[in-house]
Structure 1
Amino acid sequence: MSTTPAHVAVSKYRWIVLFACWASFTLTSIDRSTWGPASVFVGEGLGVPLASLGAFATAYYIGYVISNAVGGVLSDAIGSRRTLTASLFGAGVLMVVFGSTSSAAVGIAVQALVGLFAGADYAAGIRLITSWFRPNELGLVMGVFLTATSIGLGIANAVVPSLIAWHSWETSYHLFGAISIGFSVVLFFVLKPGPLGAPPVVRNSSTRRRFLPDFSLILRNRNLLVVSVAGFGGFWGVYGFVTWANALMIKGHHIPSKTAGLVIVIFSIMAAVSKPLLGFIADKFFPRRRKLLIIVLLGVYGLGLVAFGSLGTTASFFWVGALLGLVAYAATTLMVALVPTLVPATVTGTAAGATNAFWQLGSTIVPVVVGAVFAGTGSFLAAFSTLAAGPLVGMLLMFGISEPRRGTPSTPRAAALVDGKQ
């Protein structure tokens, strides 16, 4: 019996799926963010100098980027439920292991493995969500899903310092690792794929089972490739700001560190609010024109970064920082929602993982580039203009995207929705 989009729309279970994917993503975000408040204490415990602590974060993100790409393929090949629960379970186990290590070398290796497991739940969560929600609903639900990164960051910074003061840095890793393990077991028995998704393993023309998804559906998809490069520019601007804004305000304008930190807090709060808010607006008023809204948001963010680099008063940093928070993550959230509509359902996980892995390269490279620009010029404006180049180039690239329209579906999922059947 086929399932119509109307049936999917009234299914209450789909909200359980969204919550479960969001909670899993929040936990892996907490696992990742625990390093920030714990890093100094980890260094003291393992005898690692402050200047060398970056090796742990670098190791994690190497594993994380690889995991995004591989996790997407696994989601399409063996199923999103298995991939998501294995991701959370593995990350939890390795968090516990890291909290028990006494060697810096082993700790760095374990951090790489934590990242290698943790990154897979992003694509798996998107594949599960898109199997239950229609394309014209993805703006809101992806906005909700992606609040996990902001909330995970907040929880880690609120809880970990207290755990360290109460007992030790090891306790925070043991606690969040154990929670991740327990929740992954629950999700394994609770989650199931929805009627709008494709089966995890497809048959080829000779009816033999194919383990891997058809990568040609990704590599030949011009729209997806353009979104990948545009998203790289978006992430360049977003994570470059998060990484450098605090230090640049302190060094470039001699703003007190607490004041600079408060600017970033305002930015983060606005970002958390904007993800579901702008997603809802996109679903309501731009259901088949997300491209237009993304172009506007990227343009405003890029110009806002240039304006931020030109500011001279403390009050103006707060106002422009709030505006940047409102538009920064909204643009990347709508890109995440756009990706599943550009590909067949059989490669949703692969597309989500591959694009996010490429986008994360932008957040990996930009800190080094911006640091070099500021060191070479000493110019606050030059540093933020470098940041602005990413979203502004992304804005221009988005003009080349062709979105699926009613009556001319470009993917099996779109066709199913137009025909009223799956």
Structure 2
Amino acid sequence: MSSRPDTLRTDATGSAQARAGYRWVAVLLGWIALDFTMIDRLAWGSVAVVASASLGLPLMALGVFVTAFFCGYVVANGLGGFLTDKVGSRVMLAGTMVALGFATFGFSMTPGIAAGIALQALMGLAAGGDVAAAVKLITAWFDVKDRGKAIGFLLTALPCSVMITNALVPLLMHSLGWQAVYQILGVGTAAFGLVCFWAVRDAPVRAVAQRAGKVRLGPLLRHPQYLLLLVAGFGGYWGMWGFTFLVNALMVKRYGLSPAAAGAIVVWFGATSLISKPVVGYLSDALGGVRKSIMLVIMVIFGVLTVTFGFLDGTRQLTIGAAALGFVSLAWSPLMTATVAEAGGKRGAGLSTGIANGLWQFAGVWSPAAAGLVFQWTHAFHAPFYLLAAGPIVSAIALLWVRDGASIDEADPVDPRA
């Protein structure tokens, strides 16, 4: 007859095994959610030219729907992070997917420009809680020293969604029409929301009770470590988005490459950026959760390679340079995301992630515009790359004062009765 201690040990072992198995299910669910969000967002780029005719939208105004989604998404990030901390990742992910699915389906029936702008803004508002909910889910299921690889895999959703969108949306559009594309995406997104409601568990049983509590915005925005992380992340995305949006046009202009040849070079940028996130996340975990030092080194290399790219010549050099830049351009992002989430403390991982993700979105707007103006003024191929390199260099400087594991709980401890 087994003793009570033996029974307790058996139960504990079974619980640990169940947790180890489920936590990667949680990562997969978050990854699929981010894919749906990005595909719904990016689909317009593939259908815009065809859809503009039926909507009476001038070709020069095709970007207005992209802007509408962006505005809704940025506004919703902070609110989505706040709600994630209050209601948990399960309810937030499910609600985000269902609401986004309905809004996406509704866009297929838009009668004109005004309604389309409103629906795209609504889609952005609905999608705004995706990253915060997914990251908070990972912080609940993975210990600090195991989060790097998990978030690294999660963040591969962005490049994967780009590939999925470009592979599937044009085929669906030509076969069924652009309205059917949004109807299929809407139904699929909402259905996955129901899957999330059924399958997502906010945390291991013993940690569920810690989910709710007072979310502290003031201490978060006053915490110097969090502010430094906001600057560091913005600088990294400044360099990455500026390069992504401008490099094709700059190579065509400077070297006379065809768009296809320039695109073949940039494919290597995307491929290496895809594999770098889980690789660096795994490295961080293998070193015991070290993040600051790895991020700092990556940012310095990122800045140097960005400047160097402006002086390369020939297809082979440009291909090698793009591949190298691709690896470092987002290799820092899983570590930054994990550190930002932890800076929010036990109660505020969703809020800290939501605010950061919302702010960092602006790097993708301002950086390409600024670098494009520099090229227009100077007509020098290398000049924009100096401006883009300033982003990761500023990030490296900010990271000098960051400490691994810094949290607002240090200055504003959580009340155990909260």
TM-score (norm 2): 0.91
2:233 corresponds to which residue? 231
Post-superposition Cα deviations, 1:354-387, rounded to whole Å, max 9, x if no partner, equal 1111111211211211121111111111111111
| Structure 1: distance between partners of 2:324 and 2:209 | 39
Q: How is 1:9-408 mapped onto 2 (pairs within 5 angstroms)?
A: 10-195=19-204, 196=207, 199-202=210-213, 213-285=215-287, 287-404=288-405
Distance 1:69 1:341 in 2: 16
Query: Residues of 2 paired with 1:317 and 1:168: CA distance?
Result: 38
Q: Is the 8 A contact 2:220 2:408 kept in 1?
A: no
* CA distance, structure 1, for counterparts of residue 391 and residue 275 of structure 2: 23
Offset from partner CA, 1:74-132 (integer Å, 9 cap, x none): 10122221111111111111111111112012111111111111121110111111100
SS at 2:261 equivalent: helix
Partner deviation per Cα, 1:39-72 (whole Å, 9 max, x = no partner): 2112222121221111111111111111211110
Unmatched runs of 5 consecutive residues or more in structure 1: 203-209, 417-422
Please tell me the root mean square deviation across aligned C-alpha atoms, in Å. 2.2
1-side partners of 2:61 and 2:36: how far apart? 26
Q: State whether residues 136 and 288 of structure 1, in contact with CA within 8 Å, keep that contact through their aligned partners in structure 2.
A: yes
Partner AA of 1:19 in structure 2: L
C-alpha distance after superposition, 1:4-29 (max 9, x if no partner): 9x948953111111111111111111
Note closer, same or farther for the CA distance 1:8–1:299 as it changes in structure 2 (3 Å cut): farther
Contact 1:29 1:152 in 2 (8 A): yes
Q: CA deviation at 1:200?
A: 4.1
* Cα distance change, pair 71–254 in 1 and its aligned pair in 2 (3 A): same
1:410–1:94 distance in 2 versus 1, CA, 3 Å: closer
Residue 345 of structure 1 aligns to a residue whose secondary structure is coil
**CA shift for structure 1 position 198:** 6.5
Letter in 2 for 1:63: G
Flag structure 2 segments of 5+ consecutive residues without an equivalent. 1-7
Distance of 2:400 and 2:324 partners within structure 1: 23
Number of aligned pairs? 399
Percent identical among aligned pairs is 35
Q: CA deviation at 1:201?
A: 2.9
CA drift at 1:289: 2.5
Q: TM-score, normalised by structure 1?
A: 0.90
- State how far apart, in whole Å, the 1-side matches of 2:290 and 2:265 are: 32
Runs of 4+ in 1 over 2 A off after TM superposition: 6-11, 195-201, 340-343, 409-412
- Kindly indicate whether the alpha-carbon contact (under 8 Å) linking 1:33 and 1:153 is maintained by their aligned counterparts in 2: yes
Give the Cα separation in 1 of the matches to 2:219 and 2:140: 18
Query: CA offset at residue 181 of structure 1?
Result: 0.6
